[in-house]
Amino acid sequence: MVLSAAVENLLEITAREKSQPPANAVARKFLAEIGEEQSIDVLSTILSMRTTIINFSALIVHLAKQKKPKKMNDNDCLSPTKGSPNPVTTTHRSDAFASPSSTNNTPPIGDALPPNKRRRTLNFPATASKEKADMGMMDSLTDALTELEFRKAFLILNYKGRKQLEDVITAEKIRSLSRLDMNSFEFHIWNDFGRGICKENERRKQYLDWESGRYLTYHCHVYGDASYSFKGPFLNKTTTLLQKEIGDENVLIVKFLEDQTESIESGSRSVMSCPAFNKISQEGIFVGRKHFQFFVFKDGGKAEKKKNPASSPVKCYFVNKEAFASFFDEGSRFFQRKTIQDARSMFMHIHKASSVANYMARFSLILSKTVTLDVNLDDVHVQDIDDVLCLDEKGEPVYMDVDKPHIHTDGTGFISEDLALKCPLNCFMGFAPDENNIKRLVGELPETSQLISRNLEPPLLIQFRMFHKGRAIKGTVLLNRKLPPKTIQVRPSMIKIKADPELAGAPTLNRFEIVGTSNKPKRPRLSKNLISLLHYGGVPKEFFLERLDDALKDVHSILYKKRGALKVAINRDADEDFTVARMILSGLPLDEPFLQHRLSEIVKEERKNLKAGKIPISNSFYVMGTADPTDTLNCGEVCVILEHGQISGPVLVYRNPGIHPGDIHVVNARYVKALEEIVGNSKYGIFFPSKGPRSMADEIAGGDYDGDMYWVSRDPELLAKFKPSSPWKSCPSSLSSSSRKVDGLSDEVLERELFRLYLRSRFQPSKAMGVAADCWLVYMDRLLTLGDECSVEKECVKQKIWKLIDRYYDALDAPKKGIKIEVPPHLMPGKFPHHMERGENCTYHSNSILGEIYDQVDNYNHHLDKVKVWMLPYFKEQIEQIPAACRQAWRALYEEYRSVMSAAMNVGQESKNESATAVYRFYKKILYGIGPEDEADELEKSRKSWNDIRVDALAVYSAAYEYAAYVNDPQKCNFAWKVAGSALFKMIMEEQGEKPICCAPSVLREVFR
């Protein structure tokens, strides 16, 4: 939308002053429609607000709608929200669920649908008999529901379970609750009907911080009879491009339940033809008047499986298609002419994908957890540059296939310094823990030189996804100070989906999404695979066992040495509140019950890691890789930049999940002067040469430069003992793809093929990669124990290992190619070594290095005693003097807390930390006398007198420790330190007569790395 210069200027100023991202297309459209004068009035109002703004764009839409002429149709644009549906912390009605009839005479979308689908819109889900459903009552119910903000309406649908809406609530009741804040609303509907339908652990607690600005996700469970129920909303700290662009309330994460498909594996009826599931894929899911349709799915792999081992890592996303209406500059009533394919083309011209399998593998890029770079890509020069080809000794290109040459620059391009400076630091998996990293760069300092003068260096490498004019681009960009401002350079290897020339000029979303940055490396650990390969290469057992012994001593020393305890507390703090570290720094003895319990839990976890071969190793680190932009490095050379600049000398380089002996390279790290002119003082990365017949990254477990992390070691003993092997070479696969080509498929056939692909990924996942890796470890374990006298058996084992390696690496890329990989029965071992923990019936005791590591940890002569609960003498004396009524009140609150926290821990792995933090905040506000609407929750912000706080804090301590002693469980003491920690620490320091000093956690982490 083209706005006047005055509006554009004020829009930029307002976004900067309020620390908000630029207004999205929907907000700009509304400003254009109300004109310059009204737009300036809207933006001036926002600029003068003192309330925290959750969503800048949604707030613009909300205020602009109030200024639109009555003849304008509010349905012409929907308001996508970012995070919480409320644009500010005060409650506003969400227009995304507003009844269209309340604003104009245009019939709502649901009424324009055929009668059968219209009826389904009114039922939740549509399983009620005609005799039971009164259409007039249902119309009234639906209208009442759509008048609520979406998250409230969805909560009603959640708590009704699989019952019919009219059986649990009336339209009058819904309207009577509409003005309540989210906490009160949840409390009422839970007590009205939710508690009689849902389990306690399914409750979305009233103690959750609904106004925190966190993103929301909405879930749906589909059953075998084509009915469905709703779960959520859930709070999350990260989000995807899809949710950011069309709004949380327009994305539904759908789970097709396993227990409804008992005959999936049978030959008579496979999941591929399950009538219920296919019906849902064709007709969609209705939530009020919103119609959700199948859009995209993604296999989260190991990372997603680790979060919830009992659930499938494959997530399916349905979207409300009408949410895209404003991007096509059409009202939602007319958007029915558009197809789901049209909606997908907003992100990328995905119909240019080579196959159905590749189609969804590439389109799922919109589901990466990312941080959006604060830049308008229309003002950025996105330039295409050539890849650097691999050349043989004659200077001719080397081909991996007939028409696909090997390249040295696979997945890496460049970004100018001004754009890199806008990137948040320490970004990992779409999350930047330090929000100030973003705020400090949004207009606070006008000149790049001033940023540099304040030691604010941009990241060296940025892992990203870019959606630009129909193209989908994936990889990393290297800081290049020689580029002109506002420039990004990409290569053909980074372009995963090309633009369709026939759609030139069609509307698209242009975004630069950051997945991660090149961050300061933590101290790395070895792994079973890496230990096996190093030992195979000549590193003796003693090397690993000595380091294991040192690690065991270090681990157990944290129970009685403050320095070791503080080090592990600083580096292992998961929820960033540093409770254990604060307890140590305040002078508490290490045998204090809760402190000793937490340290004991850390020891147990560390021992478990050591048994699995995760042994800490010095002089090593993980860094992100890229290609040498100076063309200086020769074959066998690398350049590594760490905290204090480039390093020199021999190093080992490896990449997980490599399982071939040649995946570990011995190379020489050298200083490259020309690189400093390009990257300046930016840090943490490894540069590989751009010369030779094959990319070094490809030689290391088939790696590339789209964000891969490489293990680099300078350990002198490793370098002296290890003997490298030739790298793995891929063989042309004889397996052909079973995935159909996209060209020529009608929209209907394509949607059917995509949904079939989802069902296969969901219910018939390929396990070849995991099976091949496990089988490889079994045979490698055996190979490492065979002596020279077993030459025949060794050769047999080696042959199986080489075949498994081929299968393993083929399986890595199989999903994108649509190839089905299987491990043949003759490569499957009969038994597993005991360190793999497969059960007694299929296990043998291994004498390999991995078996010895496992046994040494098990046999370590230090046993952890059960921690007994007792109170600190100083606190015990003070507690006896506080009023009995105060102690009794906090006993009741603590009993309530135990029930609340139990339910909070059953909300799903992703939301556990968020839910727990919200529960603690609730009780902290009670302790410190801070109102529920206030963002503060700490002692420093309290208006209560210190004496009152002190008395309450002692009562909190007493309630928690009395109960912990009664059940003999020191974990129950957690409540005291999480809720009253600040006050208790102050009391301890006063008793000791010492003045505390202020220290940043980041400084402590640097000191105790």
Tokens 């793995």 sit at which residue?
728
Q: Is the pLDDT of residue 776 over 90?
A: yes
pLDDT band at 79 (very low <50, low <70, confident <90, very high): very low
- Range with the poorest average pLDDT among 255-264, 860-869, 953-962: 255-264
Whole-number pLDDT of residue 835: 95
Whole-number pLDDT of residue 138: 63
pLDDT band at 655 (very low <50, low <70, confident <90, very high): very high
Q: Is the pLDDT of residue 227 over 90?
A: no
Among candidates 862, 861, 853, which has minimal Cα distance to 560?
862
The sheet carrying 290-299 orders its strands as: 228-236, 215-222, 251-256, 314-320, 290-299, 285-287
Q: Is the pLDDT of residue 722 over 60?
A: yes
Pick 784 or 106 by higher pLDDT. 784
Average pLDDT over residues 694-716: 95
Q: Which residues contact 25 (CB under 8 A, 6 or more apart)?
A: 1, 326, 327, 509
Q: Which two tokens stand for residue 79?
A: 């308001």
Q: Is the pLDDT of residue 640 over 90?
A: yes
Render pLDDT for 311-364 as a digit per residue (tens, 0 to 9): 778 999 999 988 887 777 665 555 556 789 989 999 999 999 989 999 999 999
Tokens 């209705």 sit at which residue?
286
Whole-number pLDDT of residue 19: 77
Query: Mean pLDDT of all residues in the chain?
Result: 83
Whole-number pLDDT of residue 267: 37
Pick 84 or 210 by higher pLDDT. 210
Q: Is the pLDDT of residue 444 over 60?
A: no
Whole-number pLDDT of residue 89: 34
DSSP per residue over 276-325, as a string? HHHHHHHH-EEETTEEEEEEEEEE-HHHHHHH-TTS-SEEEEEEEGGGGG
- The residue extents of the domains of the chain are 1-72, 73-365, 369-517, 765-858, 873-1007
Q: Is the pLDDT of residue 131 over 50?
A: no
Render pLDDT for 811-843 as a digit per residue (tens, 0 to 9): 887 777 778 888 999 999 989 999 999 887 789
Q: Is the pLDDT of residue 88 over 60?
A: no
Among candidates 251, 295, 317, 326, which has minimal Cα distance to 82?
251
DSSP per residue over 412-454, as a string? EEEE-HHHHTTSPTT-BTTB-S-THHHHTTSSSSS-HHHHHHT
- Range with the poorest average pLDDT among 111-120, 475-484, 644-653: 111-120
- Range with the poorest average pLDDT among 605-619, 748-762, 776-790, 921-935: 921-935
**Residue type for 773, please?**
A
Whole-number pLDDT of residue 72: 39
Whole-number pLDDT of residue 736: 57
CA distances, 68 to each of 35, 62, 64, 333 (Å): 9, 11, 6, 19
Whole-number pLDDT of residue 113: 32
Q: Is the pLDDT of residue 563 over 90?
A: no
- Range with the poorest average pLDDT among 53-67, 295-309, 401-415: 295-309
Whole-number pLDDT of residue 235: 82
- Range with the poorest average pLDDT among 3-7, 223-227, 472-476, 992-996: 3-7
End-to-end CA distance of the chain: 50
pLDDT band at 487 (very low <50, low <70, confident <90, very high): very high
Render pLDDT for 453-481 as a digit per residue (tens, 0 to 9): 334 789 999 999 999 999 999 999 999 99
Whole-number pLDDT of residue 282: 87
Render pLDDT for 53-71 as a digit per residue (tens, 0 to 9): 777 888 888 888 877 664 4
CA 59 to the chain's CA centroid: 27
Q: Which residues contact 647 (CB under 8 A, 6 or more apart)?
A: 640, 641, 669, 714
Whole-number pLDDT of residue 437: 37
Whole-number pLDDT of residue 119: 26
Question: Of 96-110, 520-534, 895-909, which one has max mean pLDDT?
Answer: 520-534
Render pLDDT for 876-916 as a digit per residue (tens, 0 to 9): 999 988 999 999 999 999 998 888 888 777 655 556 677 78
DSSP SS3 for 657: coil
Average pLDDT over residues 788-815: 90
Rounded CA gap, 136 and 15, in Å?
A: 46
pLDDT band at 273 (very low <50, low <70, confident <90, very high): low
Question: Of 1-15, 602-616, 736-750, which one has max mean pLDDT?
Answer: 602-616
pLDDT band at 108 (very low <50, low <70, confident <90, very high): very low
Q: Which residues contact 820 (CB under 8 A, 6 or more apart)?
A: 735, 738, 766, 814
**Residue type for 849, please?**
I
Please state, for a pLDDT cut of 70, what percent of the chain lies above it: 83
Whole-number pLDDT of residue 571: 77
C-beta separation of 582 from 612 below 8 A: no
DSSP 8-state class, residue 206: T
Do the bridges between strand 511-517 and strand 371-372 make them parallel or antiparallel, or are there none, so unpaired?
Answer: antiparallel
Whole-number pLDDT of residue 146: 85
pLDDT band at 674 (very low <50, low <70, confident <90, very high): very high
Whole-number pLDDT of residue 626: 97
pLDDT band at 26 (very low <50, low <70, confident <90, very high): confident
DSSP 8-state class, residue 520: P
Q: What pTM, to 2 d.p., does this model score?
A: 0.81
Whole-number pLDDT of residue 335: 59
- Range with the poorest average pLDDT among 35-49, 305-319, 625-639, 641-655: 305-319
pLDDT band at 123 (very low <50, low <70, confident <90, very high): very low
C-beta separation of 348 from 474 below 8 A: no
Whole-number pLDDT of residue 332: 56
Whole-number pLDDT of residue 445: 36
Q: CA-CA-CA-CA torsion for 87, 91, 93, 96, nearest 10 degrees?
A: 40
Q: Which two tokens stand for residue 689?
A: 């040469």
pLDDT band at 206 (very low <50, low <70, confident <90, very high): low
Whole-number pLDDT of residue 102: 33
Q: Is the pLDDT of residue 95 over 50?
A: no
Average pLDDT over residues 88-106: 33
CA 381 to the chain's CA centroid: 29
